[in-house]
């Protein structure tokens, strides 16, 4: 589907794309091919696609896999997708909000480890979605996601930079960022105001911590970054007794004056383990 096809389809159906749903549709076939290639697909693969839109990326993925489950929130686009791919037995379409879908306990705890998620994500929900995917004990083995360049940079950030944030850690604790390529606004209809990037993540083969530690890890990271300019020790106060915080920071080898943005992922893991010591899970 090139830019003209997209415009014609939208005109025929009197569909006006909605900014609040992040409806910037990809039409550049080279970029779409490159995204599919980053999925490293094989005929037995199962793929999840969030926000298929009119199916530009779906058309590249569907012939290459054994199952594709797409989640689209816009009823108007859902109808077009059913028209286009409904006859394919390995295509499944859910009409719902992807955030609500993954929040359902049965989907949170399901085994997605044999799935790959490949999506041009709606930008407004990209960050919470990635955090939800990382929160799953058995999340998809690979994520190939197109998002705002600025968000991609935060996801790949290293300690001590302004991009290093809660998001870096909450996704990074379960996924390792791999290749990234930039996508120009010209590749979308309508053109977004910012640059985008396609980023590949691989689920960590060796978990950094036991599943029970994910929730406490998230609490520690959120508290630590609650006021970025403050010392981390002050941000953690109130969550645990002061002497426990001091002992945990010392055992992790952290200076008592350090700010969260300087603390590495491995140090956050160790700090969480120390803070949880003696607490029933």
Binding positions for ligand SAM, rule: CB under 6 A: 21-26, 50-53, 56-57, 71-74, 77, 97-99, 120, 122, 125
Give the C-alpha separation, 28 to 3, whole Å: 8
Min separation Cβ 222 and ligand SAM, Å: 22
User: Closer to ligand SAM at the Cβ: 117 or 221?
Assistant: 117
Exposure letters 20-38 (e unless 16+ CB within 10 A, then b): ebbbbbbbbeebbeebbeb
Min separation Cβ 201 and ligand SAM, Å: 18
Min separation Cβ 225 and ligand SAM, Å: 25
Min separation Cβ 135 and ligand SAM, Å: 17
User: Closer to ligand SAM at the Cβ: 49 or 274?
Assistant: 49
Which residue is nearest to ligand SAM, using beta carbons? 51
Query: CA 154: distance to chain centroid?
Result: 12
First to last CA, the chain: 51
Min separation Cβ 192 and ligand SAM, Å: 8
Please say whether the beta carbons of 163 and 203 come within 8 A. no
Give the C-alpha separation, 214 to 193, whole Å: 36
User: Closer to ligand SAM at the Cβ: 96 or 158?
Assistant: 96
Min separation Cβ 158 and ligand SAM, Å: 28
User: Closer to ligand SAM at the Cβ: 122 or 140?
Assistant: 122
User: Closer to ligand SAM at the Cβ: 125 or 232?
Assistant: 125
Say how many C-beta atoms besides its own lie within 10 A of residue 222's C-beta: 15
Please say whether the beta carbons of 93 and 81 come within 8 A. yes
Count of H-run helices and E-run strands, the chain: 13, 9
- Greatest CA separation found in the chain? 67
User: Closer to ligand SAM at the Cβ: 196 or 276?
Assistant: 196
């Amino acid at each position: 589907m090139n830019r003209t096809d997209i415009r014609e389809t939208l005109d025929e159906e009197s569909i006006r794309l909605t900014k609040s749903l992040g409806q910037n549709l990809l039409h550049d076939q080279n970029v779409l091919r490159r995204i599919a290639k980053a999925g490293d697909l094989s005929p037995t693969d199962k793929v999840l696609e969030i926000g298929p839109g009119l199916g530009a990326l779906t058309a590249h993925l569907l012939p290459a896999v054994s199952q594709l489950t797409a989640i689209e929130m816009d009823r108007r686009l859902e109808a077009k997708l059913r028209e286009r791919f409904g006859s394919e037995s390995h295509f499944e379409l859910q009409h719902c909000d992807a955030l609500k879908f993954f929040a359902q306990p049965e989907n949170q705890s399901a085994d997605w480890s044999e799935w790959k998620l490949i999506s041009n994500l709606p930008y407004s929900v990209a960050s919470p979605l990635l955090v939800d995917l990382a929160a799953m004990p058995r999340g998809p083995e690979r994520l190939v996601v197109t998002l705002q360049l600025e968000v991609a940079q935060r996801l790949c950030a290293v300690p001590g930079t302004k991009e290093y944030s809660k998001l870096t850690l909450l996704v990074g604790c379960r996924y390792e960022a791999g290749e990234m390529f930039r996508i120009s606004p010209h590749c979308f209809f309508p053109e977004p105001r910012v640059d985008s990037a396609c980023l590949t993540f691989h689920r960590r083969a060796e978990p950094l911590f036991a599943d029970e530690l994910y929730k406490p890890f998230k609490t520690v990271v959120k508290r630590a970054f609650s006021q970025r300019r403050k010392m981390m020790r002050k941000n953690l106060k109130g969550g645990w007794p002061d002497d426990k915080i001091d002992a945990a920071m010392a055992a992790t080898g952290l200076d008592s004056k350090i700010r969260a943005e300087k603390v590495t992922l491995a140090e956050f893991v160790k700090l969480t383990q120390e803070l949880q010591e003696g607490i029933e899970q």
